[in-house]
Copies of this chain bind each other. A is one copy, B any other.
Amino acid sequence: MVSYVLNGRMDLKIAPATRERVLAAARSLDYRVSHSARALRLGRTNTFGFYTGGALPDVADTFYRKVVGGLQQGCHRHGRDLLLHHACAEADVEAVFASLTDGRVDGLIVLDVFDEALVGRLAASSTPVVSLVNALPGMPAVVADDEGGERLMLDHLVSRGVRTLCVHRAGERGNSVARREAAFIAAAEARGVPWRACPTRTVEPSDLGWLAARDFEPPAVFVTWMDVFAYTFIAACARLGLRVPEDIGVVGFDDLPRPDAPLVRLTTLHAPWEQVGLTAIDALVTLHDGGQVAPLTVLPVSLVAGETA
């Protein structure tokens, strides 16, 4: 059995002479396995796919790398390959769905799929799908404990004697950022700590009027839901001549490494994004093998007490 030899299988007894004969022939013919043929025959590809809706904004890069790193590690542990599907902005839902479920991969990890029709198709398909970071209807998800993290953050800020909570209103809905915001506000209200909304979408002067006017009572902290936004805020403060944290503090979420050395160590929440990716692959393997997985897996988040609040 040529196939047995080439795959290095030891479960069948093959005469050493025969084995060597096969190997020699393969070498001389410059034999290369055909992935397509094997996949067709086996009905599986030993490959998992990663699909993220639309183009990832540049700001998400480091986060993305963390997640993909976890996926890679998980795939490696289970002897699977990882295929990074590329979102095609112009393609319609059916085309994207077709290309995701054409048998190229045995299962799918999805992130930031906001198209409800696509989510529905994927949830109903026979391909196992696991959602990352955000829970999606109809499929298991692996997420960070956004709510628990924000409660930790509120406790931290209260213990530091903060007087004014300037809460970032990003205007997002139904995703992890929105959950963080809701959880923080709920915690503040439960503790009776006053807060105010700061609709600082960008660092444009029009959005930073409250900051430029120093329209807050120190000690104040600006509470954001992503590190990258906290860093942007720090840059804006520097431009406006405000010191962090003396004039106003700032906190984030993610605890992602920065490409350039930041001027300060940010006070933030550490979310285990690699672990999220790794856990999602574990779930996908279980699903692919016909097992059951929890509809929602929540991974813990911890406080990183830095210098900014």
Contacts and interface: CB of A to CB of B under 8 A. Distances in A.
A103 B163 CA distance: 63
Interface in A54-102: 55-56, 58-59, 61-62, 64-65, 68-69, 72, 75-76, 81-84, 86, 88, 90, 98-99, 101-102
Nearest to A233: B260
Interface residues of A, number: 50
Contacts of A15: none
A86 B88 contact: no
A263 B257 CA distance: 19
Q: State the copy count for this chain.
A: 2
Interface in A24-45: 32-37, 39-40, 45
Interface stretch (A136-144, A234-242, A284-292, A299-307): A234-242
Contacts of A90: 76
Contact of A235 (B32, B88, B239, B261): B261
Interface string A205-246: 000000000000000000000001001101110110000000
11 contacts: A32-B101, A33-B98, A34-B102, A36-B39, A36-B103, A61-B65, A61-B259, A75-B86, A231-B259, A235-B263, A239-B263
Interface of A: 32-37, 39-40, 45, 55-56, 58-59, 61-62, 64-65, 68-69, 72, 75-76, 81-84, 86, 88, 90, 98-99, 101-104, 203, 228, 231-232, 234-236, 238-239, 257, 259-263
